[in-house]
Amino acid sequence: MRLVEIPLLSPFTTSFGTEHTRTALTFEYIRDSIHAFSECVTSTAPLYSYEDNSTALHVIKRHLVDMIKDEPFPADFVERSRRIKGHNMAKAALEMLLWDLKAKEKGVPLHTLFGNSRGFAEVGISIGMAPINEMIPNVEAALQRGYKRIKVKIEKGREYEIISSIRNRFPSIPLSADANSCYRLSDSDTLKRLDKFDLLYLEQPLQEDDILDHSRLAKLIATPICLDESITSFERARQALETGAANVINIKPGRLGGLHESLRVIRLAREMGAHVWVGGMLETGIGRSFNVSLASNNLVDYPGDTSPNDKYFERDIVLNPFKMVNGEIKPNTGPGIGVEIDREFMEERTRKSAKIL
Ligand code: OSB
Ligand code: MG
């Protein structure tokens, strides 16, 4: 285990706060000549969900790490760890470590293990909040770089200003907004005023645990609803889709406890006529590579938040960052997640490390 701290190129502001650095809990599993890696998507504070780096490390060390001693398949680890309640991000860190291990054992790139690979991911951008005279040039620059969809963060009180300004300046771009759960059902009139801006979807308007009110909101506004924070399992996804709370799902393997559950949700959503895309949590090159592999799956039908590494960091802990060409990123060709670790930089940015198995 290593806790690495990498400065973000620019601060990232959402309705729950501003991030200046990515403090990532990373894992390396070594057996013979194989080195498998993973990254936990938690951060220093429980602002996106209840987990943070400390709770994740605690749960991993105390309750989960022994379950990977015999190198189970990811699906078996998911079964074993089910009796530990919640803590999906902690579980996902080990589940993904096992996926990388299995792919490296076979000597194949991770995305090929999922079946149905398109060979590339379609890429959109998530733009943080800032004064509107900074957000407009950020959108412009993203369009010039070839991003296929622009998502902007909004918060209560600024939604109309942000969306109307961007829509007026760019009348026909694929545009969405992410509220990170800052509204209540009683704000439906405020959200209804966004109907005329033809957003692809409004992401996570209401509380994380509120499928019921999302299904009510969906009937009150014309903009489709995409759920992120709320979708913590296959069953939650089924409930959201059955009740009409969402018809778009942001798939984050960390939030769902791993890639196995993510693939199940992707299949379910598409069978039920909904749309899916792969999100991000400001991951370093390690976590990013898992996301790009998953986003390359043919069933993923909307562009995701898997930007190239240089959107986030001046220098990342990998030597082979992703390049975006025409709004597309290809998964690495090496075995597993295919990242080459920048050992020197990783060492320099390590704040804490320990052998935990
Ligand atoms: O809600 O999708 C989100 C980042 C951190 C936590 C939550 C979210 C995000 C993003 C950025 O939107 C996605 C990315 O570029 O990694
Ligand atoms: Mg989101």
- pLDDT tens digits for 229-243? 999 999 999 999 999
Domain positions in the chain are 2-109+341-353, 112-329
Residue type, 309: N
| Pocket mutation for ligand 1, best pick of 9, 12, 14, 329 (most atoms within 8 Å of C-beta) | 14
pLDDT attached to residue 143: 98
327 touches ligand 1 (CB under 6 Å): no
CA–CA gap between residue 194 and residue 18 (Å, rounded): 24
Which residue has a Cα nearest atom 8 of ligand 1? 281
The pLDDT value given to residue 220: 98
pLDDT bin (cut points 50, 70, 90) of residue 293 is very high
Q: Which fold has domain 112-329?
A: TIM Barrel (3.20.20)
* The pLDDT value given to residue 318: 98
Fold of 2-109+341-353: Enolase-like; domain 1 (3.30.390)
The Cα–Cα gap between 338 and 108 comes to 9
Average pLDDT on 262-276 reads 98
pLDDT of 136 reads 98
Q: How far apart are CA 74 and CA 95, in angstroms?
A: 5
Q: Which atom of ligand 1 is nearest to the CA of 125?
A: 15
Mean per-residue pLDDT, 129-156: 98
Return the pLDDT at 105.
98
Whether ligand 1 lies within 6 angstroms of the CB of 281 is answered as yes
| Whole-number Å distance between alpha carbons of 231 and 228 | 6
- Ligand 1 centroid to 34 CA: how many Å? 31
Q: Take atom 5 of ligand 1 and give the residue whose Cα is closest.
A: 281
Length of the chain in residues, anyone?
A: 357
Is residue 266 very low, low, confident or very high in pLDDT (cuts 50, 70, 90)?
very high
Binned at pLDDT 50, 70 and 90, residue 28 comes out as: very high
pLDDT above 90 coverage of the chain, percent: 100
* pLDDT of the residue at 301: 98
Residue with CA closest to ligand 1 atom 7:
281
C-beta of residue 276 within 8 angstroms of C-beta of residue 265: yes
Q: Are the folds of 2-109+341-353 and 112-329 the same?
A: no
Residues 305-310 have a mean pLDDT of 98
Q: What is the secondary structure of 230-283 as a DSSP string?
A: T--SHHHHHHHHHTTS-SEEEE-TTTTTSHHHHHHHHHHHHHTT-EEEE---S-
d(CA 64, CA 57): 10
**What pLDDT does residue 168 have?**
98
Share of the chain above pLDDT 70, in %: 100
- Residue 334 pLDDT: 98
Closest CA to 276 of 247, 256, 255: 247
Catalytic residue numbers read 153, 252
* C-alpha 32 – ligand 1 centre gap (Å): 36
Measured distance CA(131)–CA(138) in Å, rounded: 11
pTM for the full predicted model: 0.98
In angstroms, the CA 278 to CA 267 distance is 13
* Residue 305 Cβ < 6 Å to ligand 1: yes
pLDDT in tens, 162-190: 999 999 999 999 999 999 999 999 999 99
Collapsing DSSP states into helix, strand and coil, what is residue 168?
helix
